């Protein structure tokens, strides 16, 4: 298999959202599968939109997901620098090649005049193409004057690895800006130069760039550069499926998902499969499985609908997978920022016991805050939970009090306090009280936790311990 040199080239203009990340995942998978390399390049030439700290956020996000890059910031490599703002001389050198060959010109036309040209076309109901308004008096190019590409309109054909064979006519070719007034290159020019200089073999980007491809092909041709393989990635759609997912649709940053208790394995798994599948019914993929099974041919051409519910479900599956396959010692370190505040002074071994009986109910790690608080502090007594419970509401207060006192006596006499002995005592109590499990066990569960649900009763009681369990049962019995 040909070694693929791929790149992820984000702009540091804010938080990194899920659409950005998927544009990093596919290049990463292809590079790893082919024993190639992934380049991280920071496209920071739009200085007006530059956000301080955004580059570090990009790096941290990739590291969190395990998408290690082979060249780029921190790592460095033979194609440094990796910040476009530091590559101006390179762009200017390539721009001068186009000037010398007559394929680029300085354009002193003021924006107001260009706006007039555009309005003329609107009035005439014809497409606006700047090449029809090229200035006749062209000065020598120098800082402060935009540089435009001088296109030669013609038909272009190319193959997109996802979309297939594509064609475009001369009507889409125009004199696009290569270097802006501030001396920085536009994306349209910079990415072509960078990809060529860095030896990129596969250019993966959103399908929204498909309409601009003919102009890119014209620049490749004018510079005498070999085209890389072009890979257009379908949009990630809002949950309704009617438009591209955006901030207004509730799209959160990857950092927010991390802080909400989403695991990197789940996020990587979900986004990789959002617009790609290997033709099977498999849903849970490790990173190694994704690398092994990934192929450009299986990227879908239509947009993929974003479903946060599916992500959360998948996260729950990964929590259980990590616990079952790697043990609690691998899952527990990931939970450090997600316990309730009341757990702060409890030792690790106690919290590990709690995690070991609650993990299979977690959908996100942040669920720990609400689902485990009664393990660390006495719950607030809410007798309505008893009177409204469908199994307990038929009992009078005195009957409930009697059941609790019988339970206290039985558990007080339980010899060894472990899950098996506690369960034996509970089973004996069922016979002695002639009650159904949903009735007796439901009463005990509410009395010791006042939570909507809890792990297996005997496991919960084992972790809480005899003293705490009996104290809570006594408190509720006195409160009825």
Angstrom distance (rounded) from CA 476 to CA 480? 6
> What DSSP character marks residue 253?
B
Distance CA 186, CA 195 (A): 14
> Which DSSP letter does residue 69 get?
-
What is the rounded distance in angstroms from the CA atom of residue 13 to the CA atom of residue 466?
56
418 Cβ partners below 8 Å, 6+ apart? 462
User: Phi and psi dihedrals of 212, rounded to 5?
Assistant: -90, -10
- Calpha distance 206→429 (Å, rounded): 64
Determine the Cα–Cα distance for residues 270 and 23; give it in Å rounded to an integer: 13
Classify the C-alpha dihedral 277-281-287-291 as positive or negative.
Answer: negative
State how far the Cα of 432 lies from the Cα of 449, in Å rounded to an integer.
24
Q: With the CA atoms of 180, 182, 183 and 186 taken in that order, what torsion angle do they form, in degrees rounded to the nearest 10?
A: -30
Q: Where are the beta strands (DSSP E) in 68-208?
A: 104-106, 147-149, 156-160, 164-168, 177-179, 202-206
What's the CA gap between 411 and 379, in Å, rounded?
A: 20
Helices (H), 12-52: 18-33
In this structure, what DSSP letter does residue 254 have? H
- DSSP output for 276-337: B--SSS-----HHHHHHH--GGGB-SS-EE--HHHHHHHHHHHHHHHHHHH-HHHHGGGGTT
Q: What are the C-alpha distances in Å from 58 to residues 51, 54, 205, 397?
A: 12, 6, 17, 59
Look at residue 203 and give its three-state secondary structure. Answer: strand
Question: According to the annotation, is 247 in a ligand binding site?
Answer: yes
The answer to whether 448 touches 473, Cβ cutoff 8 Å, is yes
Closest CA to 63 of 123, 96, 16: 16
- Could you list the residues known to form a binding site for ATP, using ranges: 247
- Could you list the residues known to form a binding site, using ranges: 247
């Amino acid at each position: 298999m040909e070694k693929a040199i791929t790149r992820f080239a984000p702009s540091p203009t804010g938080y990194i959202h899920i659409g950005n990340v998927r544009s990093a995942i596919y290049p990463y998978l292809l590079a790893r599968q082919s024993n190639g390399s992934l380049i991280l390049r920071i496209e920071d030439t739009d200085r007006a939109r530059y956000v301080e700290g955004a580059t570090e956020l990009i790096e941290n996000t990739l590291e969190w997901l395990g998408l290690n890059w082979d060249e780029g910031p921190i790592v460095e490599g033979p194609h440094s620098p990796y910040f476009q703002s530091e590559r101006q001389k390179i762009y200017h050198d390539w721009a001068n090649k186009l000037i010398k060959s007559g394929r680029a010109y300085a354009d002193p036309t003021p924006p107001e005049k260009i706006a007039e040209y555009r309005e003329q076309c609107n009035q005439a109901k014809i497409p606006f193409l700047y090449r029809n308004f090229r200035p006749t008096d062209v000065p020598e190019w120098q800082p402060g004057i935009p540089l435009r590409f001088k296109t030669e309109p013609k038909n272009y054909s190319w193959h997109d690895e996802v979309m297939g064979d594509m064609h475009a006519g001369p009507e889409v070719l125009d004199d696009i800006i290569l270097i802006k007034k501030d001396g920085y290159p536009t994306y349209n020019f910079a990415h072509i130069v960078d990809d060529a200089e860095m030896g990129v073999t596969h250019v993966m980007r959103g399908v929204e760039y498909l309409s601009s491809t003919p102009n890119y092909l014209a620049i490749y041709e004018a510079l005498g550069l070999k085209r890389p393989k072009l890979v257009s990635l379908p949009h990630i759609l809002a949950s309704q499926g009617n438009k591209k997912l955006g901030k207004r649709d509730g799209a959160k940053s990857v950092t927010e998902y991390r802080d909400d208790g989403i695991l990197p394995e789940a996020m990587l798994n979900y986004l990789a499969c959002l617009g790609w599948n290997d033709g099977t019914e498999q849903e849970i993929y490790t990173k190694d499985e994704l690398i092994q099974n990934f192929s450009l041919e299986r990227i879908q051409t239509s947009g993929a609908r974003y479903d946060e519910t599916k992500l959360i479900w998948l996260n729950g599956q990964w929590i259980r997978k990590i616990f079952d396959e790697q043990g609690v010692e691998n899952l527990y370190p990931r939970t450090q920022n997600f316990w309730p505040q009341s757990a702060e002074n409890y030792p690790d071994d106690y919290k590990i016991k709690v995690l070991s009986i609650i993990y299979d109910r977690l959908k996100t790690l942040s669920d720990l805050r609400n689902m485990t608080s009664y393990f660390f502090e006495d719950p607030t007594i809410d007798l309505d939970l008893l009177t409204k419970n469908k199994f307990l509401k038929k009992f009078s207060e005195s009957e409930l009090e009697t059941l609790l006192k019988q339970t206290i006596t039985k558990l007080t006499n339980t010899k060894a306090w472990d899950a098996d002995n506690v369960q034996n005592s509970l089973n004996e109590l069922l016979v002695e009280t002639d009650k159904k499990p949903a009735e007796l066990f439901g009463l005990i569960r509410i009395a010791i936790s006042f939570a909507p649900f809890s792990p297996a009763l005997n496991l919960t009681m084992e972790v809480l311990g005899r003293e705490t369990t009996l104290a809570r049962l006594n408190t509720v019995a006195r409160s009825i």
